Amino acid sequence: MTSGTSGGTPVRSVVRTVLGDVEPDSLGTLDYHEHLFQISPLLAGDELDDELLSGREAASLLAGGMQAMVDATPTGLGRDVEATARISASTGLAVVHTTGLHHSGHYPAGHPLLEMPAERLAETFVADVVSGFRVADGRPAAAPDGSPVRAGVVKAGIRYWSIGAFESRALEAAAATSTTTGCAVMVHLDFGSATHEVLDRLDTLGVAADRVVLAHVDRNLDPGLHLELAARGAYLGYDGPARHREAPDSAILDCLSRVVDGGGAARMLVGGDVARRSRYVAYGGMPGLEYLPKRFLPRLRERLTREDYDRVTRANGARLLALPALLACAP
């Protein structure tokens, strides 16, 4: 896959995984939103912090039929990028890792990230994409073969109909990271709120909507709104399967079908966002990462043409995650 030209020469695109760069077309079926490691004060008692158990859970996702995932745990929330790389190497599941931030509620009072200027945040996030993450002791994070572990997506988060000072800095830093490296921006939306407002804010910061994925749009099952967002070029992240207290899978499937019928198939992604110890089979919970490929996607497949199903589960993710190799150059 190519991404534009440089001096008349096509620029090769890559997807940056924790084990190195791969061709976008080789990524395969994608779960666009999961967490192998995560610790947050908002999820006390639901920590994901065991490499062996998270590795088993990742293996179940692969066994269920997904070939790749995005680990959406950003900076400061207990991510373990070296362990994630080891899990990817041992299971064969491709993992694209995020840098960036969540919303302020996920960081305890006094956390240094809460007051960090956007410029400094952006410097860190750009380095995570271009050179690689650094671990707690300051050394470069290394994959099992010794290569750097790098980010392939940058994240920001907003609260319910609220973009506070911290969230504004996070969006600014994410935008700077995207415009510098070419990587996509994932935005967590509380209950699917403020979708157009986020796109407007990022647009003023130089990020086109077609480099943005709006996570959790299915917390607001409004196909008309979703088609408006798709028409702007934004990617729509559907990651609510098995959250039946919020909406049954049938409602999500109905919404997905209506957006596809309205012409939005080229802007849709699916994920599980299982995200909690109590919901991971390997940690003793349920329904696990395997729910998406084993329970939800077969029902989606019945509703879509083969071409549209391939778009939603494979092609769209490869396009979104592709970044120009010349912009995100190796150190």
Q: Which residues of the chain have pLDDT under 50?
A: 5-7, 328-331
Residue 326 CB partners (closer than 8 Å, separation 6+): 6, 11, 12
What's the pTM value of the predicted model, to 2 decimals?
A: 0.94
Spans of all domains in the chain: 14-324
Distance, in Å, from the CA atom of 104 to the CA atom of 197, rounded to the nearest integer, reads: 18
Provide the pLDDT for residue 324: 84
Provide the pLDDT for residue 328: 43
DSSP letters, 292-315, are: IIIIIHHHHHHHS-HHHHHIIIII
Provide the pLDDT for residue 14: 96
Query: CA-based Rg of the chain, rounded to a whole angstrom?
Result: 18
Provide the pLDDT for residue 137: 86
Binding residues: 33, 35, 155, 188, 216, 273
Binding residues for Zn(2+): 33, 35, 155, 188, 216, 273
Provide the pLDDT for residue 164: 97
Provide the pLDDT for residue 330: 46
The fold adopted by the segment(s) 14-324 is TIM Barrel (3.20.20)
Inter-CA distances, 100 with 152, 156, 177, 217, 256, Å: 11, 6, 9, 20, 28
Cα atoms in the 13 Å half-sphere on the side-chain side of 37: 22
Provide the pLDDT for residue 327: 54
